[in-house]
Amino acid sequence: MRVIVSECLRGTACRYDGRAKPSAAVQELCEKVDVVGVCPETAAGLPSPRPPAEQRAGRVWLRDGRDVTSDFERGAAISLAKARASAAPLAVLKAKSPSCGVGLIYDGTYTATLTEGEGVFARLLEEEEICVVTEDMVEKCKPSVEHPVAIVLGSGLGRLASLVKPVRRIDYHSIDDFPREARPVAGHRFEATVGTIDGVPVVVYPGRVHLYQGYGAPEVTSLVRHAHELGCRDIIFSCATGYISGNAHKGLGILTDQINFTGRNPLAEWDEINDVDSPFVDMTDAYTPYLRTLARGVADDLGIAVEEGIFAGMLGPSFETRAEAAMLRTLGVSYVGMSVANEVIMARALGMNVLGLTLATNESGESSVTHEAVLAEAASYADDFERLVRGILHLL
């Protein structure tokens, strides 16, 4: 996988102050990918050191009052050409800078005050539909013992749990709000494992309860809250789904967005949920673009066939009618299932980074679909699913 990276984050002394701004998490990522190093300011011929620059009123100014907008635009154009030639899908840029800032930049007062905005180079990359993040995202997503990766496994995908080198096990029935009377459906187990996969700290949940079993949204999202209480900042949801003919095919998929058709929302009882300040949660990037891009890169590197598409969460337990499948096709849906949607809402409310992986086992709206057939189909993709998840954990 190729990744565009700001040179200062790698340790190159090219900043305005003549120094580097290395990030240990970014440097570790660089050891695992093919790096395309960039520095728009150096590409423009700006010296290092030099007076600091910030954006104001759509222009870039040095602290001494010189307008260097044209220099920054020239350096960004040169760096963009390098990025295009590399075909890298991901860029990790220096936060807050007038060239590379993403979402927030310094406001032009030279008082360390931030304002909403994009760096000159970052904006060009986003227009190319390259996923652009800062070192903050890489650092936040990096697993540790204090912040393991949570993995919730769906129907037929529980074999991944056998890869965990266990430290301890947790019976689901000891988890707050998990229904005490619940028993797992076929293809699920109700015992979480805390440990490591290939040395990466994880908490693996090899099963879940569903709304169609009569449980409420707070109960079906109890595992998400438990993972958050354990310190997890990244959570990988997996599920078996049907695919919508014309929009997707049988096999593995990466979820890019979702439509919640369940008629339930865990935030309707938000005042009972710790660490949720407001029920009005931004769901614009429900599935974290950085994690989605890493997953796509891993799949390509490993030669694993993976599609991408929108997920529709249904109440279930009945499968979709032909009319429902036709409606979902019109809405642009690729995958349809009976879990995940409410879990993703809860994870986003708790500030977690979300990756959704699916195994599409059957065509939605077609006859002869059974739960047993779904489990059997899932088993045939278990090896590729495990390789994909292990590859993602390796990059994190």
* Model pLDDT for residues 208-247, shown as the tens digit of each residue: 999 999 999 999 999 999 999 999 999 999 998 999 999 9
Question: Which residue's entry shows tokens 């102050």?
Answer: 17
CA-nearest of 338, 355, 384, 324 to 187 is: 338
- Do 11 and 41 lie in one domain? The reply is yes
| Cα-only R_g, the chain | 23
- Do 114 and 220 lie in one domain? The reply is no
- Do 312 and 366 lie in one domain? The reply is yes
pLDDT in tens, 259-291: 999 999 999 876 667 778 888 999 999 999 999
Mean pLDDT for the stretch of residues 308-323: 95
Determine the structural domain holding residue 243 and report its residue range: 143-395
Two structure tokens written together for 236: 């990988």
Mean pLDDT for the stretch of residues 324-335: 98
What CATH number did the domain enclosing 259 receive?
A: 3.40.50.1580
- Do 48 and 98 lie in one domain? The reply is yes
Share of the chain above pLDDT 90, in %: 87
Q: Which of 139, 172, 194 is the last residue of a domain?
A: 139
- Do 347 and 202 lie in one domain? The reply is yes
Cβ count near 271 (within 10 Å): 8
- Do 60 and 104 lie in one domain? The reply is yes
CA-nearest of 363, 152, 330, 337 to 251 is: 363
Asked if pLDDT for residue 379 goes beyond 90, the answer is: no
Give the pLDDT confidence score for residue 90 in this predicted structure: 98
Which of 55-64, 161-170, 239-248, 379-388 is least confident?
Answer: 379-388
Structurally, how many domains does the chain consist of?
2
pTM listed for this prediction: 0.94
- Do 94 and 200 lie in one domain? The reply is no
Cβ count near 82 (within 10 Å): 15
Asked if pLDDT for residue 164 goes beyond 80, the answer is: yes
- Do 175 and 228 lie in one domain? The reply is yes
Asked if pLDDT for residue 187 goes beyond 70, the answer is: no
- Do 226 and 238 lie in one domain? The reply is yes
What letter would DSSP give residue 95?
Answer: T
Q: Which of 139, 169, 194 is the last residue of a domain?
A: 139
Q: Whole-number mean pLDDT of the chain?
A: 94
What is d(CA 243, CA 309) in angstroms, rounded to the nearest whole number? 10
Give the pLDDT confidence score for residue 270 in this predicted structure: 67
Q: Which of 117, 139, 161 is the last residue of a domain?
A: 139
- Do 187 and 133 lie in one domain? The reply is no
- Do 239 and 370 lie in one domain? The reply is yes
Q: Three-state DSSP class for 61?
A: strand
- φ, ψ of residue 332 to 5 degrees: the values are 85, 15
Mean pLDDT for the stretch of residues 110-130: 96
What is d(CA 136, CA 248) in angstroms, rounded to the nearest whole number? 33
Mean pLDDT for the stretch of residues 326-342: 97
- Do 272 and 354 lie in one domain? The reply is yes
